[in-house]
Amino acid sequence: MASHTPTASRRRWGSTVAGVLILCVMLFPLYWMLNTALQPDSGLLQVDPVPGSLDFSGFSKAISDQGGHLLTSLAVSLGAVAICLAISAPAAYGLARFGLRGSRTIVFGTLITQMVPGIVIANALYNSYVDLGLVNSYFGLMLADASLGIPFSIVLMRSFMVSIPGEVIEAAQIDGAGPVRTFVRVVLPMSRNSLITSGLFAFLFSWSDFMFALTLNTTDEVKPITLGIYQYIGAHVGDWGSVMAASVLSAVPAAILLVLAQKYIAAGITGGSVK
């Protein structure tokens, strides 16, 4: 702090320059995605390093071809977030607070589920989904996508709810509140941050999901953007401009969340894994 001598501060700015360079290298592919999207359809030619003039035809084509899939992704992801929070928040509270016999086993099981390869789940799920009529349905995909966030959310929220002071919960009970009322009126508001973090990650997991979208759908009825783009390159190999424009659009939620909810993202990455 006191070392604000010219050389020390110059050295610090030197680190900043190095940091910016690292960032440029790391984010170059994303720049290239944007750059390609903003150039007139180059076909299979090389792309200029900087767009000479901004050309939005790629975007308008991407929106007309893929806009519906973006909305599908949004609907499925929001549904998955709702299912995820509705199931995992009460469970996290129950596991953190009630001292039920078997809680330890359930928490253990939750950790284990995070290790089951998704393709194995899809393999078995597909056949059941066919029997249950859940293939090509919004609800079926929401349920499957919710499974990506539920174990993570339980672990994250539970570790938070364990640290809520017992006095607060007891005070609510002395006031005559039952377990549901205590949970809704006291525990949920206090756990706001961990709820937001869990919801954000459930959204990101679901938005990024490709595997369930690929395996649990056999028609074009329910097609999220990840699947849309994947099939787009199959059909439009030469039309990189609109493929990249669709990619940019699909990356927008991640970018927005990163800027607006930076601290929750950081908390989720560390809390969800190390705890």
Q: How many angstroms separate the Cα of 183 from the Cα of each of 34, 82, 169, 231?
A: 45, 17, 9, 45
Tokens describing residue 153: 């959310």
Residue 120 binds other proteins, judged by CB under 8 A: yes
Give the footprint of other proteins on residues 125-154 (CB under 8 A). Answer: 125-128, 130, 143-144, 146-147, 150-151, 154
Question: Is residue 113 near other proteins by the rule CB under 8 A?
Answer: yes
Residues numbered 243-262 forming contacts with other proteins, rule: CB under 8 A: 243-244, 247, 250-251, 254-255, 257-258, 262
Other C-beta atoms within 10 Å of 90: how many?
Answer: 18
Determine the Cα–Cα distance for residues 259 and 10; give it in Å rounded to an integer.
28
Q: Report the distance separating Cα 59 and Cα 37, nearest Å.
A: 7
- Is residue 61 a contact residue for other proteins (CB under 8 A)? no
The DSSP element (H or E) to which 59 belongs, if any, is: helix 57-97
Gap between the terminal Cα atoms of the chain? 32
Q: Which stretch binds other proteins (CB under 8 A): 50-58, 59-67, 178-186, 188-196?
A: 178-186
Shortest reach from residue 123's CB to other proteins, in Å: 5
Window 199-238: contact mask with other proteins (x via CB under 8 A): -----x--xx-xx--xx---------xx--xx--x-----
Instruction: Considering the complex, state which of residue 164 and residue 196 has its C-beta at the smaller distance from other proteins.
Output: 164
